[in-house]
Structure 1
Amino acid sequence: MKNYLYSLVLLAVLSCQSSNTENQETLVPNLILNDVLACKDLAGLQAQYGAESLVADTSWILNEDTLRGSILYPNTNKQAYIMYHQGQILDVSVLGKQSLWKTNSGLYLGLKMLDVEKLNQKNFTVSGFNWVNGGMVVSWEGGKLGGDNLTHVVQFSNAENKHEGLSDMEYSQISGEAEFDIRHPLIQKLNPRLDQLAIVKPYVPTKSEGQSMGTHITKTQIPKSKKKP
């Protein structure tokens, strides 16, 4: 779970920002996201994709956290977000309805949850919907997408929080800060689309970085206790 922390924070930031990458035409992903991760650092990105294709140095601010990274092919259907740690690429993210990027494992934006289950070759667990980390994969449950060499961080249909096919009452039953097996009948009926995707190199934060991320998670996910009158 430690490998997820930085990407969870980054995806939370990016999901609050508007994207200009949508296209009315259906895109067929033909670029490999793993190739971006393999560039290792900014110099590698510039050599592979050209300096003119990058916003090399930008930052995203979330509470007391400032995350630094790059944007590849900004404002296009090839847009990808890249974050570094100590100068090395840590993860690569895409978000929205569709993109020209896919992973070597077959994941891409817009893919239905039941198709992701086939790629994982096993059921998996997601957080409840309708909050900032709603629809996030909590555990791949030992499936193919949970390998040790690369972490797949995936979130389903939380950006627009749509729940076509379910009543508000039904949707409330799979919402909130809880965990659900995707074999839950209402989740199977919803079958949401993948709308946020990151691939992450395994990484254990330093003590100070862990404390900072822990503080953020506490503030955003743990409700304040009510004082007794």
Structure 2
Amino acid sequence: MNHLYPSVFLLIGLASCQQKQPDTVTTSTDSLVSKASIIQSASETPGPSPENFLVIPGLQVGSVNASATEASLIALLGQANVTRDTIYVAEGNYEIGTTLFKNTADQAQILWADKRRFARPETVMLRPAHDQDGNLLPGTAGSATQWITDKGIKLGMSLQDVEKLNGRAFSVYGFGWDYGGLTSGWKGGALEEKDGKSFIGVGFGVPESLTGQQEKLYESLLGDQEFLSSNPAMHTLNPTVQNLTVSFK
């Protein structure tokens, strides 16, 4: 059975191709929060830079901010790192957008509000690229993704660690459909904006190969319904972050 989480866009109702989750991705919540704090302490909103992989939901995804254009990203990152691309969205549909760091662990795909000028990013999807065996394709930092949010969320992080960052249980859609594994609400936790809004969607998934017990847990979490992250089956299965979707204020 294919358990792979299809990357989805909570904020604009889209879904993407399925990808196999890397078999060995480990993270430390404390180190991630520390790294995010160090990056943000240098500036409340770090400016454009090829080394900028900090995500501040609603404001920036690395060098991509609300006023970015494809042309400005080419000038900053170089033509080799900015690709005019056909991006899968949902149900067999595609849109023309822009991919940064294509076919690497840091791959990010942009859909534009101004589709003619490729300006004003509407959504940025962080979707690390994998080879046919499910291994992350190397990026500038090797076989690891560099993206991290200002509150410490990182690709590969476990559901339980995200729950710790949020400070309470959050809600997740059941697996096995277009929006399977996607966060549906932070329940007033630390990852929610002060006005109750959210500019980030976190997509969780499980490995393609599961043990018999994991299979039973997974099957109990299927379908178009919401589960709390603290649900015993969800907690025990402990899926990991496979993709992030960010929109702008």
The alignment's C-alpha RMSD in Å is: 3.2
Name the counterpart of 2:97: 69
TM-score for the superposition, normalised by structure 2: 0.65
Displacement of 1:77: 2.0
| 1:41 pairs with 2:69 | yes
Report the equivalent of 2:10.
Answer: 4
Aligned to 1:53: 81
With a CA cutoff of 8 Å and minimum separation of 6, indicate the structure with the bigger relative contact order.
2
C-alpha contact (below 8 Å) 1:170/1:186 kept by paired residues: yes
TM-fit CA distance, 1:176: 1.4
Tell me how far 1:89 sits from its aligned partner: 0.9
CA 1:150–1:189: 2 relative to 1, 3 Å: closer
Q: How does 1:85-104 map to 2 (within 5 A)?
A: 85-86=113-114, 87-96=119-128, 99-104=145-150
Within 5 Å, give how 1:172-191 maps onto structure 2: 172-191=219-238
Q: Secondary structure at the match of 1:145?
A: coil
Residues 43, 157 of structure 1: alpha-carbon distance in 2 compared, 3 angstrom cutoff: same
Q: Summarize the Cα distance change of 1:175–1:23 in structure 2 as closer, same or farther, 3 Å threshold.
A: closer
Aligned partners of 2:26 and 2:157 also within 8 Å: no
Query: Number of residues paired by the alignment?
Result: 193
Calculate percent identity across the aligned residue pairs. 27
Aligned to 2:54: 32
Provide Cα deviations, 1:146-201, integer angstroms capped at 9, x if missing partner: 2157611111115x555558343332222211111111111111111111111111
Stretch of structure 1 that moved more, 77-86 or 62-71: 62-71
Runs of 4+ in 1 over 6 A off after TM superposition: 21-30
For the Cα contact (< 8 Å) 2:86–2:94, is it kept in 1? Answer: no
User: Structure 2: where are the runs of 5+ without partners?
Assistant: 1-8, 36-51, 56-60, 129-135, 137-143
1:109 positional shift: 1.0
Question: How far did residue 5 of structure 1 move?
Answer: 3.7
User: Residues 22-171 of structure 1 correspond to what in structure 2 (within 5 A)?
Assistant: 31-33=53-55, 34-38=61-65, 40-60=68-88, 62-63=90-91, 65-86=93-114, 87-96=119-128, 99-147=145-193, 151-157=199-205, 160=207, 163=210, 166-171=213-218
Question: In the aligned structure 1, how far is the partner of 2:23 from the partner of 2:219?
Answer: 31
Under a length normalisation based on structure 1, what TM-score does the superposition of the two structures give? Answer: 0.70
Q: Tell me the alpha carbon deviations over residues 10-34 of structure 1, each in whole angstroms, 9 at most, x when there is no partner.
A: xx22x33x68x97989799982242
Deviates more, 1:51-60 or 1:78-87: 51-60
| Alpha-carbon spacing, 1:4–1:169, altered in 2? closer, same or farther (3 Å) | closer
Q: Which runs of 5+ in 1 are unaligned?
A: 203-229
Which is richer in strand? 2
Between structures 1 and 2, the one with greater helix share: 1
Deviates more, 1:29-38 or 1:120-129: 29-38
Is contact 1:37–1:90 with CA below 8 Å preserved after alignment?
A: no
